[in-house]
Amino acid sequence: MHTLIQFMKARKKILKYAPYKWSTMVEAIYRYSHTVKIIKVIWKPPDTGCVKVKTHGALSKSWEDLLGILQEIWGLIKGRTVVITQILREGNKLYDHLANMALDEGPLAPNTFQELDTQSRRIINSDKLNEPYLRVGPCRK
């Protein structure tokens, strides 16, 4: 949220103060700039009987590696009803945070909520409260 407030102040000098309530902030951005696109992202758990599978980094691999990954996925889903959807980065905030921590600190093995770091617990609590993450970007014409 702090980044969005700084963005609003930097982009529109006439905005003397930035509101801290997200709905008021969205209204202010639309009022002062028609070139901004805002998407509200809320994390949702998978439906009953469904599984979320996170893939990451496939585009940075060679074509041979990518084909191998696709063949592995095809083997897993063959004969099943499958729905594939894209999850925006903001909807995967906890995953990204934990992955970055693992890269920086090595393998993680928290077994309880209390064993998670403060930022991870904050993300989980925000998700439980259905607090939206705002994705702000330029409007494409």
Where in the sequence is the domain holding 131, given as residue range(s)?
58-136
Q: Do both 65 and 118 map to the same domain?
A: yes
Instruction: Give the model's pLDDT for residue 58.
Output: 46
Residues 132 and 65 in one domain: yes
Same domain, residue pair 118 and 81: yes
Structural domains in the chain (count): 2
Residues 102, 65 share a domain: yes
DSSP category for residue 131: P
In a domain, 119, yes or no: yes
Q: Residues 81-137: pLDDT tens digits?
A: 887 777 777 788 888 888 888 888 888 888 999 999 999 999 999 888 888 888 877
Q: Is residue 45 part of a domain?
A: no
Are residues 69 and 123 both part of a single domain? yes
On whether both 83 and 131 belong to a single domain, the answer is yes
pLDDT of 65 reads 77
User: Residue 79 falls within a domain, yes or no?
Assistant: yes
- 62 and 118 inside one domain: yes
Residue 24 counted as domain residue: yes
92 shares its domain with 131? yes
Q: What is the pLDDT of residue 117?
A: 94
pLDDT in tens, 22-36: 777 777 666 665 566
Mark whether 63 and 113 lie in a shared domain: yes
Query: Is 42 part of any domain?
Result: no
**Tokens matching residue 36:** 């901004």
The answer to whether position 120 is within a domain reads yes
pLDDT tens-digit map of 40-82: 888 787 788 777 766 655 455 677 877 887 888 888 888 888 8
With beta carbons less than 8 A apart as the criterion, state whether 36 and 120 touch: no
Q: Are 100 and 9 in contact (CB under 8 A)?
A: no
Asked whether 103 and 12 are in contact (CB, 8 A), the reply is no
The answer to whether the predicted template modeling score (pTM) of the entire model surpasses 0.85 is no
Does 39 reside within a domain? Answer: no
Q: Which residues does residue 135 pair with via DSSP β-bridges, in sequence order?
A: 39
| Contact (CB, 8 A) for 42 and 32 | no
Contact 116, 110 (CB under 8 A): yes
> Percent of the chain, pLDDT > 90?
10
